Structure 1
Amino acid sequence: MSFELYYWDGLQGRGEFVRLALEEARADYIEVVRGKSSEGGGTGAMMAVLDSKDEACPPFAPPFLRDGDLLIPQTANILFYLGPKLGLAPADENLRYVANGLQLTIADVVTEVHDTHHPLASGLYYEDQKDAAKIRAHDFIDTRMPKFMRYFERVLKQNPAGDQHMVGDALSYVDLSMFQLIDGLHYAFPRATKHFGEHYPRLAALHDAVAERPNLSAYLASPRRLAYNETGIFRHYPELDKATR
């Protein structure tokens, strides 16, 4: 039976972190809003689950994943579940909690990226908060992004199994998510990340190595990989970007 992934149509967003794991593992899955599933297809099928009075605990928001009778919300939670099933989690159970902690930290960065263009309220248009967004984005570029990236670079450097993976000695979903985070930052802030590889060589090497994996490379070149756009989390507004040394 196929995994059923629920996320907004036309957006990479948080759903992309799950897609990358499914694609790398060549898992059998259905993108419900873009296709058909046991719930039908389209956005209506997703909203029916969100608004369901039959689910014991319906998800608050997408992404969420259905595996048989099990409904799993939240990106990091989905990946914690999928990792062992897809061969994308450390064999050592203790390291699986380390992986989950890193994934949750990635989620923290993603939230801060979102807040660079929506610093006041998610319900307001970007155009209604551009001045505040510029202040928030420049603080993110100058302070928050370097703090997070220095941490992730140090995690790679201090990995006892070597600096090719975020945790353990083999590819995990955390490596895939780190690729997506770095890739999204390059799209949103091309000037700020121009010298990314000079400052964070291990992270840059990880990003490139993931992109070159055969399954991921094929996915990235396919129509299944949605393009970045200015309705997602990673948005490129030139006025929010700035050059760094």
Structure 2
Amino acid sequence: MAYELYYWDGLQGRGEFVRLALEEAQAPYIDVARGHKKSGQGQAAMTSVLNSKTEPHIPFAPPFLKDGDLIISQTANILLYLGPRLGLSPDSDLRYVVHGLQLTIADMVTEVHDTHHPIASGQYYEEQKAPAKARATDFLAHRLPKFMHYFERVLAQNPHGDAHLVGAALTYVDLSMFQLIEGLHYAFPRATARFAAQYPRLAALRTAVAARPDIAAYLASERRLPFNETGIFRHYAELDVPAP
């Protein structure tokens, strides 16, 4: 049976971290909200699960994954579940190290979101532009370097070499790091102009993941939705403060 991935249609968002793992493993999956209503898919199929009166384990919000009767919610939790099934996590307690790094990526993704929605998610960006500018300026000056220096150090201190964040083989957190860096470059092209010089190991990881055959094929396909200003990573020129 194919996995069923539930996420909003039209944007990459947090669902993209799961898509990358499924695409790398060439696992059969259905992107439910992007499907046709006549096939029992589409946005209504997703909201019916969220609003179910009978499902005992309803998720709070997408993304969530259905594997048979099991529903798994939260991006990092979904990847923790999929990792061993897709061959994308270590067959040891190091899987929890991978999970910890994925949770740290999730922390940073939340901070990226808050650069354009620092006051309220229910308000438009245009209603909070001044605080967004202050938040983005602080994020780019302090938080982004703190996170990236940490991840760069994780690569440098991997006893198996700096090709992967954990262990000697690709894990889902390498794919998620690729997506995080891609999103940062889209949202803040001026601030990340010197990224490769500042974080050479992370830049090399990004290049290596993009070159993996199944990932490259996915990135070139229509399945890969483009970044846009409805997702987490949004480009607003006024928020893109050049790096010092």
Q: TM-score range by the shorter chain?
A: over 0.9
Aligned length: 244
Aligned to 2:66: 66
Amino acid at match of 1:209: A
Identity %: 72
Q: CA-to-partner distance for each residue in 1:158-206, whole Å, 9 max, x for gaps? A: 0111110011110000000000000000000000000001110000000
Deviation at 1:36, TM superposition (A): 5.5
2:168 aligned counterpart, secondary structure: coil
Distance 1:150 1:179 in 2: 15
Amino acid at match of 1:217: A
Q: CA-to-partner distance for each residue in 1:97-137, whole Å, 9 max, x for gaps? A: 00000000000000000000000000000000000000000
Deviation at 1:58, TM superposition (A): 0.2
- After TM superposition, the structure 1 = structure 2 runs for residues 196-211 of structure 1, keeping only pairs within 5 Å, are 196-211=195-210
2:11 aligned counterpart, secondary structure: coil
Aligned to 1:131: 130
1:159 aligned counterpart, secondary structure: coil
Q: CA-to-partner distance for each residue in 1:61-115, whole Å, 9 max, x for gaps? A: 00000000100000000000000000000122x1000000000000000000000
Deviation at 1:40, TM superposition (A): 1.4
Q: What's the TM-score once normalised by structure 1's chain length?
A: 0.98
Unaligned runs of 5+ in 2: none
Aligned residues of 1:157 and 1:163 also touching (Cα < 8 A): yes
Unaligned runs of 5+ in 1: none
Aligned to 2:231: 232
Distance 1:36 1:82 in 2: 25
Distance 1:101 1:227 in 2: 28
Amino acid at match of 1:120: I
Aligned to 1:35: 35
Amino acid at match of 1:27: A
Runs of 4 or more above 6 Å deviation: none
Over the aligned positions, Cα root-mean-square deviation in angstroms equals: 1.2
Aligned to 1:98: 97
Q: What's the TM-score once normalised by structure 2's chain length?
A: 0.98
